Structure 1
């Protein structure tokens, strides 16, 4: 009985994945062909204190300024507590961003003082583009 359930679930998953891939191919079918690299780009930032020491902030968020919506892959933190890196956007967000670039507001709260820092970044993308790009914004946000 367990084998039948496993097979049914596997078959269902395969059908769903093929449908999703076909939908993605159809959506990009009207994009002009262009050579793209296989890399997966991300844009991120590090928070530091005034001495230059990295901080793990609280309430990290990434919001599109024009709409107030969160970016799908934004607001992810690295798992390395000694060297925290916060992802603002990735190639998975291309469709949510315009070719000209969109302003995203990055926000974080200092872990001990409670001070909130908000910083604007401009990130470009586009459904037919190969990758996202940081147009403007700092490498570090300093409290």
Structure 2
């Protein structure tokens, strides 16, 4: 009976120690960070300085490093003039902590209006954030 208790103690100790080691490895990859459950979006607003209405054919956001289109969650927008250029669903898709994105708005006449942004994110970030770039884009420029 003593041998069984000793063996059981050794097995439980080994399992406990190995589980602590794997938790440490997970924590050290990104450090200890506390994140909120908020879902963050990076909105921009389209404005029209020469016309009274904001109208355009389409828009897309391009990750300049990857050359690929950034897709965001479909959300109900307050206004057709508000566009989401990145959100937390993109955070882990960004391999670096800073991504260079370009908004491309195709106007009704076919002309493309662009604006460049630096977006914070990456695998170890809690949320995306706009580091630089305009809050408003004039589609009449």
- Tell me which interval the TM-score lies in, with the shorter structure as reference length: 0.5 to 0.7
Corresponding residue of 2:3: none
Corresponding residue of 1:88: 85
Kindly provide the CA deviation profile for residues 21-80 of structure 1, in whole angstroms up to 9, marking residues without a partner as x.
xxxxxxxx4432211122111112121211485624222000111121112317x67455
Alpha-carbon distance in 2 for matches of 1:83, 1:53: 14
Task: Give the number of equivalent residue pairs.
Answer: 113
Q: How does 1:1-143 map to 2 (within 5 A)?
A: 29=26, 30-51=29-50, 53=52, 55-73=54-72, 78-80=76-78, 82-97=79-94, 98-99=96-97, 101-111=98-108, 113-142=109-138, 143=140
Q: RMSD of the alignment, in Å?
A: 2.6
SS in 1 for 2:69: coil
TM-score, with structure 2 as normaliser: 0.68
Provide closer, same or farther for how the CA distance between residues 53 and 87 of structure 1 changes in structure 2, counting only shifts above 3 A: farther
Contact 1:104–1:123 under 8 Å retained in 2 = yes
Alpha-carbon distance in 1 for matches of 2:52, 2:75: 17
Unaligned runs of 5+ in 1: 1-28
Provide closer, same or farther for how the CA distance between residues 120 and 136 of structure 1 changes in structure 2, counting only shifts above 3 A: same
Unaligned runs of 5+ in 2: 1-25
Alpha-carbon distance in 1 for matches of 2:61, 2:137: 14
Alpha-carbon distance in 2 for matches of 1:121, 1:70: 14
Contact 2:60–2:70 under 8 Å retained in 1 = no
